[in-house]
Amino acid sequence: MGEAPAFLVEDLKSKLTNGFHLKSKVCETAVDIGCNRTYVIGDPKSESLAVRVFDKLTNEWVFPIVLGTKPKASKGHSAVVLDQDRVLVIRGDTSSDDGFWFLEVNTLFVREQKARLGTEVVAWSKGVIGEAEKPIVISGPSGVGKGTLIAKLMEEFPLMFGFSVSHTTRAPRNNEKNGVHYHFSERGAMEKDIDGGKFLEFAAVHGNLYGTSVEAVDVVAEKGKRCILDIDVQGARSVRASSLEAIFIFICPPSFEELEKRLRARGTEVEEQIQKRLRNAKAELEQGASPGLFDHILVNDDLENCYDKLKVLLGLTDAVKTTPKSELVHVPLEHTGLKIGEKIVMKCSAAEQERFVLDLGSMRGGAPGRTRGLRICAAEELSDSELGFLG
């Protein structure tokens, strides 16, 4: 690995304490976390936000496994340590919906992945301004009508919802398209991606492997839509245990006989599979009722009736059919910032007269999902000390 170029580390380090400054074309920043580690973010050649770590105990560079959806390359960025767990990275010359990223170095998710992979790990999480709606997890036994309800929701509210396309090792049915209904995968390839930390959750269901990749959820969020996950109860349990905040809905059949009727009438499974799915349904129905896992239980008796109830609990009325747009702020390439408590006071170039405060006080979530609940407020809302910084 070799020794750290001391001049580089010292030079980069000196730029950052609680305050930070981005002049155009600063594509490499360094932050110290703890006594022994310097995280260097960025690569001036490619402008990518690559990450490497200098371990001061061994005097070696470490190249961590980088999880989560990575930020796009950037002409310049600034970085400030928020706590021992994460660094806020601000991409210059971008809009606030793609400007704020969190490099997680020691959060619970990162610690879990370090233990699992036995190597250095960091994870990216994109900062979301405002109260982006929570993803919706829909579970229930095979044949209960989850897919039917989700299809109705997507048809009525195409701008609001996006489907998380899972990976599965099951063979496609006649009407199923790769990349639309599922990413149909070879078991070996899927297991490799699971080992590589690319999955938010996975489970063996009815003899096949199914899983939700971090990317599947991110792709939906990237379009500004609310993500719907159709996953089994084991998957719901894993998501519940993760940092992804979601609403959990369990769909029940009116009776076991009706479930069997629907599964047979769908005509997609051979008898052996039907029997297996019905056996598993018994256990799933028991687990669905276990306390603390699901926020809502809906009985899918009459389809229209159940769909109406689903819309009510998601707070959907006829008046709400588009995605609410939060106000966007431009983050210029040149900016100066100061961390004061849970606020980042941003002063952009004097000529542009742009000043705002990024309030991290309500932030939640984080890798492997998004960091949500950031708030941007105007300079008028600043306290005297914050105004002092702005000069």
Ligand X SMILES: Nc1nc2c(ncn2[C@@H]2O[C@H](COP(=O)(O)O)[C@@H](O)[C@H]2O)c(=O)[nH]1
Which residues of the shown chain bind ligand ATP in the complex (CB under 6 A)? 140, 142-148, 262, 265-266, 300, 303
| CA dist., res. 123 & res. 67, Å (int) | 4
Least Å from the CB of residue 149 to ligand ATP: 7
- Residue pair 104/121 in contact (Cβ under 8 Å)? The answer is no
- 205 is a contact residue toward ligand X (CB under 6 A): yes
Residues in CB range of 385: below 8 A, 6 or more apart: 340
Nearer to ligand ATP, 159 or 303 (CB): 303
- 364 as an active site residue: the answer is no
Residue whose C-alpha is closest to residue 333's, from 13, 47, 81: 47
Residue whose C-alpha is closest to residue 299's, from 258, 268, 328: 258
- 187 as an active site residue: the answer is no
Q: From ligand ATP, ligand X, none, which one binds at residue 326 (CB under 5 to 8 Å depending on kind)?
A: none
Active-site annotation holder among 111, 170, 266, 364: 266
Q: From ligand X, ligand ATP, none, which one binds at residue 203 (CB under 5 to 8 Å depending on kind)?
A: ligand X
Distances (CA, A) of 245 to 114, 131, 267, 365, 390: 22, 12, 35, 6, 35
Query: Tokens 């039907």 — which residue?
Result: 274
- Residue pair 256/281 in contact (Cβ under 8 Å)? The answer is yes
Query: Mask of contacts with ligand X, 154-183, x by CB under 6 A?
Result: ------------x---x-------------
- 235 is a contact residue toward ligand X (CB under 6 A): yes
- 113 is a contact residue toward ligand X (CB under 6 A): no
User: In this chain, which of 53, 153, 231, 346 binds ligand X, going by CB under 6 A?
Assistant: 231
- Residue 72: CB atoms within 10 A of its CB come to 12
- 107 is a contact residue toward ligand X (CB under 6 A): no
Query: Tokens 């256990």 — which residue?
Result: 283
Least Å from the CB of residue 132 to ligand ATP: 26
Contact region with ligand X (CB under 6 A), list: 30-38, 71-79, 207-215, 254-262: 207-215
Active-site annotation holder among 91, 277, 370, 372: 277
Which residues 137-156 are close enough to bind ligand X by CB under 6 A? 142, 146
- 276 is a contact residue toward ligand X (CB under 6 A): no
- 240 is a contact residue toward ligand X (CB under 6 A): no
Least Å from the CB of residue 133 to ligand ATP: 22
- 240 as an active site residue: the answer is no
Nearer to ligand X, 206 or 375 (CB): 206
Nearer to ligand X, 56 or 206 (CB): 206
- Residue pair 296/248 in contact (Cβ under 8 Å)? The answer is yes
Sign of CA dihedral 377, 381, 382, 383: negative
Least Å from the CB of residue 210 to ligand X: 4
- Site residues, ligand X (CB under 6 A): 142, 146, 166, 170, 201, 203, 205-206, 210-212, 230-232, 234-235
Query: Which residues belong to the active site?
Result: 173, 266, 277
